[in-house]
């Protein structure tokens, strides 16, 4: 057994304030010390470096060790963030930080630990009054003029995960962190970990709990995104919180906006960090919306709206005679384009200022560019993630295909599944008043801007090295064609292209207005391929897309062997 691993594990054990993870680690150390090879491998994995402070902060599996999410790691992160904020802050007043948390296991514990450590470091610290959606925290950073915000959540990750998402105020306007702040915060965290046990970090209970008026202000601002028009009265819709924290907030907002309350999915409406009815608490995953569709059939509903567990994402389902069970989930690009069209029409109605823009991640549908050009708006394609989308100049609206929509950038500078739900309800109610539906709006979009269709091929792995192997193989030996479609060129974004920061992504440009982008997921052990095709009409585009999907699946499988 590696003596260095054992020494790190024992040092970790000595400072761990959590009885559960302390017992877990003590047992593992005893088993490893007695020669148990599996325990030795597990211990080595838990202390093989640190959980990386990267995409918006931390995210990982709960458990003891420096590569897991636990109270020691969170305390080091909080102390490091406090040190960064104190160093960046001016002499007039201490920096302000606001903290939120969702319904996952240990979320409230991590949030309370952070509040005590921030207060102990001299920061003005405000803790949200109860578990609430991530968008409420993002709103609070701007609304309270805070210097930073922390949301304890792992969003739609598996049940055993948790995370620590960081926002910055001031010039960052409440957006998620980007470089160089992420690296600077990580350096402060590492310094804390190297120099001081968390048991010796100063703590204080002198933090504030946010007033209920903060929540009321979020409700009012979000309801204003799309007040109920004529046609809303008879709208029948189903809502699921996916075992997350969205329901209280969503119900208050839709009531304030004037929409009828939905039929809920009882088994999924209350927060439950075990997520008992879904394999993955992500509306994108197969089967995740089955209970919502069953409820919709029974209620003869017009549409289904689902939030993910921290309610920063939105999924929409509509009746479909072509789908098994009579319902289908709209793709993130379909919803994103409808909401982008809505934003562009609104901008045209008020003669938006020069430079007003629509934005989406580069892996999202190129159809948004067509919308922007049609209405004379600027357009920005960014790297994946709302930390980039939210920083687009002149932003009116932004989205990414992974069910994220930023519909009200002056209020929340991040994806917000609650405000997006209001915008979708507004579209559905307006269409209903005209004798139309969301499905018919999609047809009208195709007729106006062209038939843009998208799909995704995802490869989930147990061994992350497989992802690196596939990316290296594609770089060394890119395909000349995919099925019957010729590959015109390959763009490697690792060197930084089109004004974007370097990122591990390849784009295959296809003949006939098509493309495939391949990148590792930033939050899950997945390789993702994003497929986009523009056809003469919906049927032509769908046929070409199906053939492309088969070819891309075969390509990834070949490189994974």
Find all residues with CB under 8 Å of 138, minimum gap 6, and list them.
149, 151, 167, 174, 312, 412, 413, 414, 416
Which domains, ranges and CATH numbers included, belong to the chain? 1-46 (no CATH), 49-210 (3.40.120.10), 216-228+236-331 (3.40.120.10), 333-448 (3.40.120.10), 450-560 (3.30.310.50)
- Work out the pLDDT band at 495, boundaries 50, 70, 90: confident
pLDDT exceeds cutoff 80 at 56: no
Task: Please give the pLDDT value at position 508.
Answer: 97
CA-based angle 282:318:438, to the nearest 5? 120
Q: How many other CB atoms are there within 10 angstroms of residue 433's CB atom?
A: 15
Q: Which residue among the candidates 66, 155, 175, 364 is catalytic per the annotation?
A: 155
pTM for this entry = 0.94
Task: Please give the pLDDT value at position 457.
Answer: 93
- Work out the pLDDT band at 24, boundaries 50, 70, 90: very high
Task: Please give the pLDDT value at position 224.
Answer: 98
> What average pLDDT score do residues 418-445 get?
97
d(CA 518, CA 530) in angstroms, rounded, equals 6
As a whole-number percent, the residues of the chain with pLDDT over 70 amount to 99
As a whole-number percent, the residues of the chain with pLDDT over 90 amount to 89
- In 330-464, which residue ranges form alpha helices assigned H by DSSP? 332-349, 367-374, 386-389, 417-433, 438-449
Task: Please give the pLDDT value at position 374.
Answer: 97
Task: Please give the pLDDT value at position 55.
Answer: 62
Is the bond into 180 cis (omega within 30 degrees of 0)?
Answer: yes
- Work out the pLDDT band at 522, boundaries 50, 70, 90: confident
Task: Please give the pLDDT value at position 3.
Answer: 85
d(CA 275, CA 159) in angstroms, rounded, equals 7
Beta strand extents in 421-540 (DSSP E only) = 451-460, 481-482, 485-492, 506-510, 514-520, 526-535
Q: Which of 213-217, 316-320, 399-403, 458-462 is predicted least confidently?
A: 458-462
Q: Is 394 exposed, middle or buried, given 0-12, 13-18 or 19+ CB atoms closer than 10 A?
A: middle
Task: Please give the pLDDT value at position 89.
Answer: 84
Task: Please give the pLDDT value at position 405.
Answer: 98
| Location of structure tokens 């901008």 | 347
> What average pLDDT score do residues 476-485 get?
92
pLDDT in tens, 441-479: 999 999 999 999 999 999 888 888 999 999 999 999 999
Q: If we measure between CA atoms, which residue out of 458, 518, 512, 528 comes closest to residue 490?
A: 518
pLDDT in tens, 317-373: 999 998 989 999 999 999 999 999 999 999 999 998 899 999 999 999 999 999 999
d(CA 533, CA 543) in angstroms, rounded, equals 10
Task: Please give the pLDDT value at position 512.
Answer: 85
CA end-to-end distance (rounded Å), the chain: 32
| Location of structure tokens 């289904």 | 304
155 given a catalytic annotation: yes
- Work out the pLDDT band at 538, boundaries 50, 70, 90: confident
d(CA 394, CA 103) in angstroms, rounded, equals 35
**Residues listed for the chain:** 561
Task: Please give the pLDDT value at position 462.
Answer: 86
d(CA 262, CA 254) in angstroms, rounded, equals 9
Task: Please give the pLDDT value at position 63.
Answer: 97
Find the helix or strand (DSSP H, E) in which 47 lies: none
Q: DSSP for 305-321? A: EEE-TTSS-EEEEEE-T
- Work out the pLDDT band at 2, boundaries 50, 70, 90: confident
Q: What is the chain's mean pLDDT, rounded?
A: 95
pLDDT in tens, 270-284: 999 999 999 999 999
Left if phi > 0, otherwise alpha if psi is -120 to 50, otherwise beta: which for 340?
alpha
- Work out the pLDDT band at 71, boundaries 50, 70, 90: very high
Q: Which tokens is 449 given? A: 């801007």
d(CA 357, CA 341) in angstroms, rounded, equals 12
d(CA 57, CA 148) in angstroms, rounded, equals 12
pLDDT exceeds cutoff 70 at 401: yes
């Amino acid at each position: 057994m590696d003596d260095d691993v054992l020494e790190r594990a024992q040092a970790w054990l000595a400072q761990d304030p959590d009885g559960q993870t302390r017992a877990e680690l003590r047992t593992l150390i005893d088993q490893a010390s007695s020669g148990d090879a599996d325990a030795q491998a597990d211990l080595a994995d838990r202390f093989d470096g640190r959980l990386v402070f990267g995409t918006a902060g931390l995210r990982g599996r709960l458990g003891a060790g420096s590569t897991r999410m636990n109270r020691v790691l969170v305390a080091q992160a909080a102390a490091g963030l406090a040190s960064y904020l104190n160093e960046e802050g001016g002499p007039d007043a201490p920096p302000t930080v606001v903290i939120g948390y969702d319904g996952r296991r240990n979320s409230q514990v991590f949030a309370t630990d952070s509040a005590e450590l921030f207060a102990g470091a001299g920061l003005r610290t405000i803790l949200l009054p109860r578990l609430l959606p991530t968008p409420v925290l993002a709103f609070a950073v701007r609304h309270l003029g805070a210097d930073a915000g922390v949301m304890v959540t792992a969003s739609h990750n598996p049940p055993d995960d948790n995370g620590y998402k960081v926002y910055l105020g001031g010039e960052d306007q409440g957006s998620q962190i980007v470089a160089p702040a992420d690296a600077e915060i990580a350096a402060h965290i590492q310094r804390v970990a190297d120099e001081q046990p968390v048991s010796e970090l100063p703590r204080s209970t002198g933090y504030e709990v946010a007033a209920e008026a903060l929540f009321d202000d979020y409700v009012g601002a979000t309801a204003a995104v799309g007040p109920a028009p004529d046609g809303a009265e008879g709208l029948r819709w189903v809502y699921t919180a996916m075992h997350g924290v969205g329901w209280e907030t969503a119900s208050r907002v839709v009531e304030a906006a004037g929409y009828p309350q939905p039929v809920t999915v009882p088994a999924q409406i209350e927060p439950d960090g075990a997520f008992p009815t879904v394999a993955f608490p992500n509306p994108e995953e197969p089967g995740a919306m089955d209970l919502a569709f069953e409820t919709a059939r029974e209620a003869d509903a017009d549409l289904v709206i689902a939030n993910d567990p921290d309610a920063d994402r939105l999924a929409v389902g509509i009746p479909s005679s072509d789908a098994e069970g009579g319902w289908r989930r709209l793709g993130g690009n379909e919803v994103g384009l409808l909401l982008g069209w809505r934003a562009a029409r609104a901008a045209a109605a008020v003669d938006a200022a020069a430079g007003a823009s629509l934005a989406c991640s580069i892996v999202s549908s190129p159809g948004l560019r067509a919308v922007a050009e049609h209405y004379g708006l600027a357009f920005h394609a960014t790297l994946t993630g709302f930390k980039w989308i939210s920083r687009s100049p002149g932003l009116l609206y932004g989205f990414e295909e992974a069910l994220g929509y930023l519909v009200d950038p002056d209020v929340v500078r991040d994806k917000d599944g609650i405000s997006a739900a209001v915008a979708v309800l507004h579209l559905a109610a307006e269409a209903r008043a005209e004798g139309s539906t969301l499905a018919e709006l999609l047809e009208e979009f195709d007729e106006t801007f062209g038939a843009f269709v998208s799909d995704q091929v995802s490869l989930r792995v147990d061994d992350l090295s497989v992802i690196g192997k596939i990316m290296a193989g594609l770089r060394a030996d890119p395909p000349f064609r995919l099925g019957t479609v010729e590959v015109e060129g390959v763009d490697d974004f690792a060197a930084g292209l089109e004004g974007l920061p370097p990122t591990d992504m390849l784009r295959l440009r296809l003949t006939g207005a098509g493309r495939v982008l391949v990148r590792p997921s930033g939050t899950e052990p997945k390789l993702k391929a994003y497929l986009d095709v523009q056809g003469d009409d919906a049927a032509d585009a769908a046929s070409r897309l199906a053939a492309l999907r088969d070819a891309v699946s075969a390509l990834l499988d070949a490189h994974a062997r």
